[in-house]
Structure 1
């Protein structure tokens, strides 16, 4: 049985797991201590208005329903974060990308952290004294 993440704490915990970025989405995976296979979807207001965000969430739900039973990681949380190119992207292409991202997560490989923004206290900039 695949259940849905509803608590903010679960989404924040998944953010500390493996990250696999693709053109239309970012996949986060993290072990969840035997709570079964779960998924969550996040699409921010940066992506577009409510119509666009809801369309993207519907597409993501369908992608996850098709991919998780075969390719999902058991006892893991899977979180899809929408990116700007995800709405116009071809559905079959996105399903292939999701399968590849899940395979990378199964192997324990994620994207390097080099492209991420630094944490709040680590920013370097402005004038130094």
Structure 2
């Protein structure tokens, strides 16, 4: 027996969810290939991006913070904030078949208000996609 569908309270109020596959970069070669491509700095991060040119429709994303950001706790906090911003922003403003690397900035990434962090990422993505 199939359970009944729950009533859709937001019918017509919000756009449908975009089904985009996000994959996390794991290898150094992926990071280096993206580093050789376009780059856009913002107040809270640097975003590197490149179009892969393969048939994989997923968005690859990587995160990094140098020791300039702080100790391990500060670096992990900055990367967690970047991951969450990417999870919320990339499905809407990223392009399928692209690689993105988000690089945290010292003392800013972990302290900046989260909405401004998201706005910085949106700004960087728009600038990177208009350059190509």
Partner residue in 1 for 2:129: 106
Match of 1:4 among 17, 20, 24: 24
Match of 1:57 among 48, 72, 79: 79
Match of 2:96 among 64, 68, 74: 74
Instruction: Tell me how far apart the structure 2 counterparts of residues 42 and 32 of structure 1 sit (CA, whole Å).
Output: 20
SS at match of 1:86: coil
The structure with the larger Rg is 2
Give the superposed CA RMSD. 1.1
Deviation at 1:33, TM superposition (A): 2.2
Instruction: Tell me how far apart the structure 2 counterparts of residues 104 and 20 of structure 1 sit (CA, whole Å).
Output: 7
Structure 1 spans left out of the alignment, 5+ residues? 110-129
SS at match of 1:28: strand
Query: When the two structures are superposed, what TM-score results if normalisation uses the length of structure 1?
Result: 0.81
SS at match of 1:33: coil
Write out aligned runs for 1:11-30 (5 A): 11-30=31-50
Query: When the two structures are superposed, what TM-score results if normalisation uses the length of structure 2?
Result: 0.79
Shift >6 Å, 4+ stretches: none
Structure 2 spans left out of the alignment, 5+ residues? 1-20
SS at match of 2:69: coil
Write out aligned runs for 1:43-54 (5 A): 43-54=65-76
Partner residue in 1 for 2:16: none
Instruction: Tell me how far apart the structure 2 counterparts of residues 15 and 104 of structure 1 sit (CA, whole Å).
Output: 16
Instruction: Tell me how far apart the structure 2 counterparts of residues 32 and 44 of structure 1 sit (CA, whole Å).
Output: 25
Q: How many residues align?
A: 109
